[in-house]
Amino acid sequence: MRVKFGRSWRVDETYLKVRGRWVYLYRAVDRDGDTVDFRLSPTRDVAAAKAFFRKALRTQKRAPVSITSDGYAASHRAVHEVRREDEEWKNTKLRSSKYLNNLIEQDQCGIKSRTGPMLGFKNFGCAATTIAGIELLRRIRKGQFVLGRLRLNNQTAPAIWNAVLAA
């Protein structure tokens, strides 16, 4: 199973309803479609995008070589500001391409199909916890979660799920 992620990220944000208000789910996948990271934010601005990029860097431990984003100006500005503030991001290239971002747009359909029938969330904390669980399940299905240490070969999905949550 692959644990390391590619150095070319596709980044996008989508929206969900929490208590009748829109909140934004920032997500990144690499060129192979593996989930890099995600972050739920009440706002869609430069500060939220910078927080997402910092969180992704903490979990990945290395900056990407390139980031492909849609044309949203706040995400572009956030990358430019992070490059100025953090030496690790200095060589990261930023590009816009709707065609290359189709990968993450398709990947977000899995999140939307899980959260759509829920008709929104009651509060932000529950939404963040639920999204984290959905993302964990998707990583397990993609083979991104290392299960070898848990000794779960040839187990059913509920057994794997319980062991992952206990770890």
- pLDDT on residue 110: 81
Distance of CA 132 to the CA centre of its chain: 10
- Between 161 and 83, name the one with better pLDDT: 83
**Is residue 94 one of the residues assigned to a domain?**
yes
- 2 located within any domain: no
Q: Is residue 1 part of a domain?
A: no
Instruction: Report yes or no on 45 lying in a domain.
Output: yes
Q: Give the model's confidence band at 4: pLDDT under 50 very low, under 70 low, under 90 confident, else very high.
A: low
pLDDT reading at 140 higher than 70: yes
pTM for the full predicted model = 0.81
Q: Out of 70-79, 104-113, 135-144, 147-156, which region has the weakest mean confidence (pLDDT)?
A: 147-156
Structure tokens, 42: 């009440």
Residue-wise pLDDT for 72-104, tens only, equals: 889 899 999 999 998 888 899 999 887 777 878
Q: Does residue 3 fall inside a structural domain? A: no
Q: Is the pLDDT of residue 66 over 50?
A: yes
Which long-range CB contacts under 8 A does 85-88 form with residues at least 24 apart? Answer: 86/54, 86/57, 88/57, 88/62, 88/63
The Cα 96–Cα 68 span in angstroms is 6
- Residue 119 — very low, low, confident or very high, per pLDDT cuts 50/70/90? confident
* Residue 109 CB contacts under 8 Å (≥ 6 apart), including other chains: none
CATH number, domain containing residue 19: 3.30.420.10
Instruction: Identify the CA nearest to 11 among candidates 47, 38, 41, 32.
Output: 38
Q: Give 116's DSSP letter.
A: G
Whole-angstrom distance, CA of residue 29 vs CA of residue 23: 20
Q: Beta-carbon neighbour count of residue 155 at 10 Å? A: 14
pLDDT of residue 9: 92
Average pLDDT, the chain: 84
- Burial class of 131 by CB neighbour count within 10 A (0 to 12, 13 to 18, 19+): buried
Please count the structural domains in the chain: 1
Here the tokens at position 80 are 């430019």
- Residue 7 is predicted with a pLDDT of 85
Tell me the residue range of the domain where 41 lies.
Answer: 8-166
